[in-house]
Amino acid sequence: MSGKFVVGYDGSVSARRALEFAVDRARAQNGTIVLTHVLEWSPYSFLTPTELEERHKRRKEELTRAEEAIMTTVVAELKDAGMTVETEIRYGNTPEILGRVAKEHNAVQIIIGRDGQSAIGARVFGSVAGALVQTAPVPCTIVP
């Protein structure tokens, strides 16, 4: 049986590096890439009434934009390279969603890049990599 590799992908250079790393591993064992893009979202944020009215519409637009701007080209690229790819675009907290996707797909590994923020930055704003390592249900690889 071939394993699935969940890759956190947002189109950035570091995410790209993570994806390349994951492709090498997946190819070696004939595995699948689960390309996952998370739109940061909290159900406890505050919105104005106008934002409430337009939320459903904006969500559709955001999903389409994420699909078109971030996923489509890279998925085509991977397919051309002979990889099997699945995609997930979800709303929520990035580490939490990556963990959930890994569980749902029975993935063998989660692979993400990192943006190399300073220690103080990570303390103030929190770090996806840090939170993921603490909570992930499967082994994680953080690609520098």
Partner 1 sequence: MNRNVFSAALAAAGLALTSVPAFAQEQAASLDDKVNQIFANSTGWFVSLIFSNFPGTTFPWIVAWLVIGATVFTLYFGFIQFRAVGHAISLVKGDYSDPNDAGEVSHFQALATALSGTVGLGNIAGVAVAIGIGGPGATFWMILAALMGMASKFTECTLGVKYRNEYPDGRVSGGPMYYLSKGFAERGLPGGKILAVLFSIFCILGALGGGNMFQANQAHQQISGVVGDYPGWITGIVFAAIVFAVIVGGIKSIARVTEKVVPFMGVLYVGTALLIIMMNYHLVGWAIGQIFAGAFTGLGVAGGMVGALIQGFKRAAFSNEAGVGSAAIAHSAVKTKEPITEGLVSLLEPFIDTVVVCTMTALVIIITQQLVMDPETGRYLLNEAGTAVKTVGDTSGVGLTSAAFGSKISWFPYILALAVVLFAFSTMITWSYYGLKAWTYLFGEGETKELVFKVIFCIFVVIGAAAQLGPVIDFSDAAIFAMAVVNIIGLYFLMPIVKRELNSYMSRLKSGEIKKFE
Host H or E run for residue 110: strand 109-113
For 46, the token pair is: 């505050």
Please choose, out of 35-43, 74-82, 107-115, 133-141, the segment that lies near partner 1 by the rule CB under 8 A. 35-43
Q: Is 50 in the site for partner 1 (CB under 8 A)?
A: yes
The answer to whether 44 contacts partner 1 (rule: CB under 8 A) is yes
DSSP 3-state of 117: coil
DSSP 114: -
Nearest to 94 by CA among 114, 75, 117: 114
* Rounded least distance, CB 133 to partner 1, Å: 22
Identify the residue among 13, 24, 56, 119 touching partner 1 (CB under 8 A): 56
Interface residue with partner 1, options 53, 64, 69, 81 (CB under 8 A)? 53
Q: Does 91 bind partner 1 (CB under 8 A)?
A: yes
Please enumerate in sequence order all residues whose Cβ is within 8 A of that of 121, keeping only pairs 6 or more positions apart, or say none.
none
**β-pair type (109-113, 4-8):** parallel
User: What is the total count of residues that contact partner 1 (CB under 8 A)?
Assistant: 26
DSSP string across 8-24: E--SSHHHHHHHHHHHH
Q: To the nearest whole angstrom, how small is the minimum distance from the Cβ of residue 138 to partner 1?
A: 18
Residues 12-31 binding partner 1 (CB under 8 A) are none
Closer residue to partner 1 in complex, CB, 4/90 = 90
Footprint of partner 1 on this chain (CB under 8 A)?
A: 39, 41, 43-60, 62-63, 90-92, 100
